[in-house]
Amino acid sequence: MRVTIFGSGYVGLVTGACLADAGNHVVCVDVDAGKIERLRRGEIPIHEPGLEAVIRHNAQAGRIEFTTDAARGVEHGLFQLIAVGTPPDEDGAADLRYVLAAARTVASHMRRHCVVVTKSTVPVGTADKVRREIDSTLQARGAAVEFDIVSNPEFLKEGAALQDFMKPDRVVVGTDNPRATELMRALYEPFTRNHDRLIVMDIRSAELTKYAANAMLATKISFMNELANLAERLGADIEKVRVGIGSDPRIGYSFIYPGTGYGGSCFPKDVRALIRSAHEVDHEPQILAAVEAVNARQKEVLVEKMRQHFGDRLQGRTIALWGLAFKPNTDDMREAPSRTIIDRLLQDGARVCAYDPVAAAEASRIYAGRAGFALARNAYEAVAGADALAIVTEWQEFRSPDFERLKELLKTPLIFDGRNLYDPAMVGRFGLTYHAIGRGRLAGPRS
């Protein structure tokens, strides 16, 4: 298979790498010449476990190439995958300018049948706009070229994207053409050989499926955070509640972990875009609005706990922060809870000394020149002399720390755990005061 991918960001690179690894010849096209040059040198602009090795291997084998030459890309591929960004507008709607620009580019150069596939997360009706864009561009050229439109949303988890692509739960294909269905089936056959996971539907349903999936997961997170805040006031332990409800197979354990709220490039953007889509058809999505409101409030919870503990006197205090990325195994800090927490602490006059195993470079870029913010080289350096430790991302290396060493290094033996990593009673035995999310009464040192 000959595949062209427009967009060399997260989705484009993972998709290209995995398709190339299955033996396809992939050309990745991007307008950013600097990015293309770095990719040609083997420099991967995102952190995703295993991705660099897969790209390097397939580049050396000649199965994946990177170029700014759109005409060459269109000439190359039977499949033209659009995987460009859809950043939110001020009103929350997805900005489709890059998707439609890619469609025009394909139409400007196509000379034979191709399958135009939207991988970008887009609102319902985008495929119709892509089709019209291609039709009008072909008409302006005076060209009559046959093409198919397919919606093929991605379901990749940052930190596990290669596994998700290579062994998918499902491959959603939205199309109105049986020929396109069979071509997509052939493209994904190496990844669905053990069990046919291809789910074929109409294009609009495929577009909504992506938003619905992310909105459902975001809803589970906000619901558990709402319950956690209630459990705390009722003197219950949300972690015991989580186990109790998760054992019900109708609920399950996935995405019912309370914490400091969701972030990243998908959930916040997609929930807002779905709300905007609902408003455009005169529907008020009350649950989605509540999901977003609960999440915004949850990002403030850890700082509120600090304010309550210190009597609103954070001025001049130093808070150690463990974790900056919105989740483990990525350097992505887009809409990460850590950013809200850092901003509030700095506004209150506190200093922040942060450590993250991967996201330090991204944090340096975001907070360059920001007074009161510093990065540590390791977790214990961040804690030294701090008035409290706040845990924001559940990196594996934070799960079993040396509590005796923490007590020695901290100016005040105090932990605010935004991910409920530890057993409150155990932390208390080490002489540390422990504030978590929804764990009932305060856990402090035992006498």
How are strands ordered across the β-sheet holding 171-174?
Answer: 64-67, 25-29, 2-6, 79-82, 114-118, 147-151, 171-174, 198-201
Nearest-Å Rg of the Cα atoms of the chain is 24
Distance (Å, rounded) from C-alpha 64 to C-alpha 436?
47
Name the phi and psi angles at 100, rounded to 5: -70, -35
Distance (Å, rounded) from C-alpha 85 to C-alpha 39?
18
Residue 318 CA neighbour count, 13 Å, CB half? 19
Distance (Å, rounded) from C-alpha 81 to C-alpha 15?
9
266 is catalytic: yes
Q: 18, 114, 266, 353: which is the annotated catalytic residue?
A: 266
43-48: long-range contacts, CB 8 A cutoff, minimum separation 24: 44/13, 45/8, 46/9, 46/10, 46/13, 46/330, 46/331, 46/332, 47/329, 47/330, 47/331, 47/332, 47/358, 47/359, 48/10, 48/13, 48/14, 48/158, 48/159, 48/161, 48/162, 48/330
Report H helices in 142-266.
161-166, 178-188, 203-234, 238-246
Residues 6+ apart with CB under 8 A from 280: none
Distance (Å, rounded) from C-alpha 324 to C-alpha 338?
5
Catalytic (active-site) positions: 266
